[in-house]
């Protein structure tokens, strides 16, 4: 028996990175998985490989969500789980951030999460689950990522409100707050076909050795296991909460 047997789960931003690992793990746990992304080539290839289906979805568009939810209902007749994972990051000091850039980050990270819950929750089976991807920067500041941190704080607010509003239907809504994770977002060398992923990961582990108590960067497979916990009955009495997965980064500082 898989932990997600019989459940239909849509994962946004699932063509690569954490979303890809979530799609793989959920499929292995018995779910019927819908891979949603704007990277159609990668998303379709992944869906074919793991026996999932693919929908093109730009999470910042209400029409896109309407069409994606209709496609899931047509294919599977139901939807039991949503992982709002799609996200983008831009680096800039607050005073140097152009409004367009700020709004671009808001559109994907914050509006995307809002629209996802708005479109999916009314169609979701009672007892369903929503996992929103926030960040370590939803709970603390980090210089040079003002737009990103603002949207991730907002994702936590949306998570708590949705948990309260959807509890009567036993729909649970939680957020995951990763620290640094070895995907293209934190390790752009992963997008360079000439780079050796093992080597870049080793370099990042070295970088994080002095920053993070557990002494290395996180792996997307580790985040996927947390998303599985929050999507399965293993977390049946948990809703409205942020779950930090950061190798101890937020625990405090060490002066010795
Ligand atoms: P990633 O860049 O590898 O993956 C992001 C995915 O989102 C990509 O597949 C991308 O195509 C998709 N995406 C971007 N804009 C989209 C849109 N408008 N509509 C649909 N899909 C879109 O990075 P990742 O690390 O896998 O990021 C996944 C989530 O984890 C994001 O929400 C990110 O903010 C969050 N996160 C990442 C880290 C990290 O260090 N990697 C840390 C904390 C939180």
**Overall pTM > 0.95:** yes
Q: What's the CA-to-centroid distance between 57 and ligand 1, angstroms?
A: 13
Q: How many CB atoms lie within 10 A of CB 125?
A: 14
- Give the three-state DSSP class for 140: coil
Catalytic residue among 136, 148, 208, 237: 148
Report yes or no on 94 lying in a domain.
yes
Number of domains into which the chain is organized:
1
Position in ligand 1 atom list of the atom nearest CA 86: 7
Partners of 218 in the β-ladder: 181
Of 185, 188, 242, the residue with max ligand 1 atoms within 8 A of its CB, to mutate for a pocket test, comes to 185
Give the model's confidence band at 201: pLDDT under 50 very low, under 70 low, under 90 confident, else very high.
very high
**The residue to which tokens 């063509």 are assigned:** 15
Of the chain, the end-to-end C-alpha distance in Å amounts to 47
Residue 71: give its domain's CATH number.
Answer: 3.40.50.720
Report yes or no on 201 lying in a domain.
no
Q: Is 136 noted as a catalytic residue in this protein?
A: no
- Model pLDDT, residue 256: 85
Range of the domain at 120: 8-181+219-241
Report yes or no on 212 lying in a domain.
no
Report yes or no on 138 lying in a domain.
yes
Give me the DSSP letters along 54-113. Answer: EEE--TT-HHHHHHHHHHHHHHHS---EEEE-------B-GGG--HHHHHHHIIIIIIHH
> What's the mean per-residue pLDDT of the chain?
97
From the CB of 224, is ligand 1 less than 6 Å away?
A: no
- Model pLDDT, residue 197: 85
Report yes or no on 62 lying in a domain.
yes
Of 16, 18, 212, the residue with max ligand 1 atoms within 8 A of its CB, to mutate for a pocket test, comes to 18
């Amino acid at each position: 028996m898989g932990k997600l047997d019989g459940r239909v789960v849509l994962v946004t931003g699932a063509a690569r990175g954490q979303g890809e690992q979530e799609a793989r793990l959920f499929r292995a746990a018995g779910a019927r998985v819908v891979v949603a992304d704007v990277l159609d080539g990668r998303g379709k290839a992944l869906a074919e490989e793991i026996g999932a289906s693919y929908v093109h979805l730009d999470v910042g568009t209400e029409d896109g969500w309407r069409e994606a939810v209709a496609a899931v209902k047509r294919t599977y007749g139901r939807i039991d789980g949503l992982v709002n994972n799609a996200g983008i990051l831009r680096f800039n000091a607050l005073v140097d951030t152009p409004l367009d850039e700020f709004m671009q980050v808001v559109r994907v990270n914050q509006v995307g999460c809002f629209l996802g819950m708005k479109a999916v929750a009314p169609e979701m089976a009672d007892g369903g689950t929503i996992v929103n991807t926030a960040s370590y920067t939803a709970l603390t500041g980090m210089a040079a990522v003002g737009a990103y941190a603002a949207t991730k704080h907002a994702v936590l607010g949306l998570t708590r409100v949705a948990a309260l509003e959807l509890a009567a239907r036993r729909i649970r809504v939680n957020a995951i707050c990763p620290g640094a994770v070895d995907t293209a977002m934190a390790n752009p060398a992963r997008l360079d076909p000439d780079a050796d992923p093992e080597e870049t990961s080793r370099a990042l582990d070295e970088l994080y050795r002095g920053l993070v108590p557990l002494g290395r960067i996180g792996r997307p497979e580790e985040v996927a296991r947390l998303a599985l916990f929050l999507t399965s009955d293993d977390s049946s009495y948990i809703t409205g909460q942020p779950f930090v997965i950061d190798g101890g980064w937020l625990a405090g500082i060490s002066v010795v």
